[in-house]
Structure 1
Amino acid sequence: MTNTLPPTTTEREIFSVSQLNRQARQLLETHLPLLWVEGELSNVSTPSSGHWYFTLKDEQAQVRCCMFRNRNMLVRFKPQQGQHVLLRARVSLYEGRGDYQIIAEHMEEAGSGALQRAFDELKHKLSQEGLFNEAHKKALPPLPKHIGVITSPTGAAIRDVLSVLERRFPGIPVTVIPVAVQGKESAPQIVKAIDLANRCGLFDVLLLTRGGGSMEDLWSFNEEIVARAIFNSELPIVSGVGHEVDFTIADFVADLRAPTPSAAAELLVPDGDDWLDKFIGFEVLLEEAMLRRLQQWQKHLHNLRQRLRHPRERLEQQAQRLDNLELRLKNHIHKLLANYKNQLIQLRLRQQAHHPQIRLTQLSERIKNAQTRLHTAQYRLIDRKKQALGESVRMLNTLSPLSTLERGYALVTDTQTRKVITDSDQVIPGSEISTRLAHGELICRVEEVRNAN
């Protein structure tokens, strides 16, 4: 039997605990991407530092979590024990204890249940305040003079609405008030648009609309500020949000709810062909009334002729006068009819001149110009930031303590407290200290302390 000697110390790679934990942390942070984790909160701690510490668990496992103050300030709710949440986080390791943990970057309540609860709570609150009562609903004008449409100028909803309005009654002017219809900025923009429409004095009815989507996509129309802006509007508002199965708080507060954007446009304006048929009917009635009146005059003339046979000359003059009146009356009738026809032609020309496509072309050109200016401003800002970054890097290199270490100096710290040692009175014989060099670090034990005196 032969004996095998163990390898010498020089053949082994020996880690300190700090080195092991550091390498483990780097391995976790570099090999696991930013990910989403869902679970239940427990052991929630919110110390005075503003950071949040808690445990995320499910039925079979748990993990320690940390959410720093600069990130948790963006969370809209206060975390509670047992609350089910969804985290966007990165995996890390706390070197001081060797504990595996995750660092949360974003937190939200898990599932659509949170949104539904918020919807039901706001609906109940506004209903109790009377915002849904029929007594507060304003009547729509039978023939709007100017329609304001609050929606996204690039969505499918505005195309459907404009198509229906043009088909049903192209003579009514329509102005699109552009807003974002989803996202954090959407609700404030809708409130500002409603206020602007009420103050400008152009409109006599408003349409608030967007296409369908998930509950999250339609959430701007469930915001309390939007509901109160609709309720406080002096102009009647029609809500046409989403599909037939979609209901929002805005639908309950609005003066009229339509199941779709197209249906809302149908409800806003009458059918132009029906109105044109009515005008044609009025023209026929007018002609018939004038003909009856003419016949009455002719009959009356005949009676006068029968009654006034003498003197003949005067009767002939009166007959001639009546014939002239008849001709003038006919000419007047024809002129009146011609004027009505000219008015109809002028109305049709004005309708064509105010076609929405002209306005859309102008708005498209303005958007292109704004995009060009935005790109130019972005490039200038990037150049300025690059110059500032270069200056900061040069200054950092000048002031870096690493430059001092390169000249032979060392940085000495206590291995336990990690505090910098600047005086020999801070250590005692037998203490363990760490000496940081320009390249590498020395772990030393103090044999003797010599005071500067």
Structure 2
Amino acid sequence: MTLMDEQIPVLSVTALNSTAREIIEGNFPLLRVEGEISNFSAPGSGHWYFSLKDSSAQVRCAMFRQRNTYSRMQPRNGLQVLVLAQPTLYEGRGEFQLVVEQIQESGEGDLQARFVALKEKLAAEGLFEARHKRPLPIWPQRVAVITSATGAALQDIRATLARRWPLLTVLVYPVLVQGEQASAQIVEALHKASTRRSEEVIILARGGGSAEDLWCFNEEVVARAIRASTLPVVTGIGHEIDFTIADFASDLRAATPTAAAEAVSPDRSEWLPRVQGLSGQLTRQMQRKLQDEAQRLDFLRMRLRHPGEGLDLAQQRLAAARQNLARAMLMREQFWTRQFAYLEERRRRQDPIQHLQALQKQLEASRSRLRQMMLEHLQRNQLRLQQSTAALGFLDPLAVLQRGFAVLRDASGKVLFSSADSRSGDILEATLARGTLHCQVLEADATGD
């Protein structure tokens, strides 16, 4: 049998899908199916579209307006429901689906229950408290972006940062953003960015998706890695209505990846007028400074004289200084001449021998007074020493021990002052005036305090 075998009929896609639909609807009656709602949408047509899922599979569902009008419940993502539905095939896209006739609530879905339980657990630990939130840098220069390298979220972030603040350097840490390996890669990227610290803020982002697609951001390890980061983390996950555990753990939750990029970047359209205003102020201040310096230069120019004038003035001052110096030297010479004559006259009038005898008498009298003072000083110090020795004897602890007292110490050598410092059975050391005793406490008086 080959592709060109004419015995095999050729079908168009329309005919194939139509035949498959007839087979499915002809072999399946109305069924009751239970599952968790995800990807719910209600467009303007009034129809409801959603998926029913369990732990290992999902199926697309449609409940048309003429049926959902009579429903007494409003579906929402994460709700566990029971539906009465007809299995069929949507021929336009070749998709297997259930056309729902009736729907009723049967409880919260498994994913929603896990989400609520983890949120309550981490909240009870204080992981989401505002006091743990780190402020974002006002003027960051480098931003780390943790997201899919091929997703639209990265392009939106790059475009937003380039539009708002082109000076920012973006370093991308590519990771999976859905699937079993996604959470481990996200944790590793957070740790790497936190350890390197070459950036100043982290954006953790991905585009919209179902609850299953976003589930890696609801893992406990991701939330704890966000709080353990040394850099502030901004999340922009899914659409505005999507909330994940990572959003609660982050330092700032943005509604979308674009909003996250806006949160970490200054807006040049806002700052450009300020910079232009500051530039104008700086220009005006520089102009005023130049004008002031120009006036100062003009003033210095008017004070500036020809060097010859200064030289003439210096020569005049030098000549005057020479005259003053000659006059002062003459007066000094005359003074010392008179002083020398006066001293010479005094020398002739005084007899050196008599002067020497008088000095010897003064020396002997000084020696006598010195001996008397030393003797008195020695007597006073001896008396003070005797008094101090007597006072020291009263303070000597050995003297107290001589009167029958003892000093008690515990095993560590600490002196005991109260019975409350020991307990029954303690071994104490008693120091006496002569020798030492080791005693055991039989009973400690509790009133020792």
Question: Which bin holds the TM-score, normalised by the shorter protein?
Answer: 0.3 to 0.5
- TM-score with structure 2 length normalisation? 0.44
